[in-house]
Amino acid sequence: MTVKIILKDHTGVGREFQVVRQPSAGVSAILLYQPAGSFSRDEARKIELSASIKGGAVSPVASVAVPYGATTDGIFQKKGQVNDIRRSSQPANAMLDAIAESDAYASGLVANAQVIELFRNGVI
């Protein structure tokens, strides 16, 4: 059974990511979105999710990679990619309220219009 996750792109359109690798002991989960009409894996948007657990401390990481380039003669020519990485460190003795509050602020940041402008243009 293929697992799919819908995430909205920058225009608000839901895009279907395929879970191509499930997480397991020390191995991260990988999700891919292949744009319509694309046959090159170089063009796929990739999300990688992992969570290291050592001595009760949890360190989740979510990374997003979006390639850019141009299609010439029907072939995508990758020029580079934009990466966005979110990390968290949760000590083994961290209180659940502190973890929840940290998560709320981090989630709010990426949805805040002023912070979005900072990431896009370098200014608030």
pLDDT in tens, 57-112: 888 888 999 999 988 888 889 999 999 898 889 999 998 898 888 888 888 887 88
pLDDT value at position 124? 67
Share of the chain above pLDDT 90, in %: 26
Claim: this prediction has a pTM higher than 0.85 = no
pLDDT value at position 64? 93
pLDDT value at position 33? 92
Q: Name residues whose C-beta falls within 8 Å of residue 40's C-beta, 6 or more positions apart in sequence.
A: 75, 76
Query: Quick one: pLDDT band at residue 24, thresholds 50, 70, 90?
Result: confident
80 token code pair? 């580079």
Higher-pLDDT residue of 2 and 60 is 60
Share of the chain above pLDDT 70, in %: 97
- Tell which residue, 76, 78, 81, 1, has the closest CA to residue 48: 81
Mean per-residue pLDDT over the chain, rounded: 86
Mean pLDDT of 35-55: 85
Beta bridge partners of 72: 75
Q: Which amino acid is at 30?
A: I
pLDDT value at position 65? 94
Higher-pLDDT residue of 110 and 55 is 55
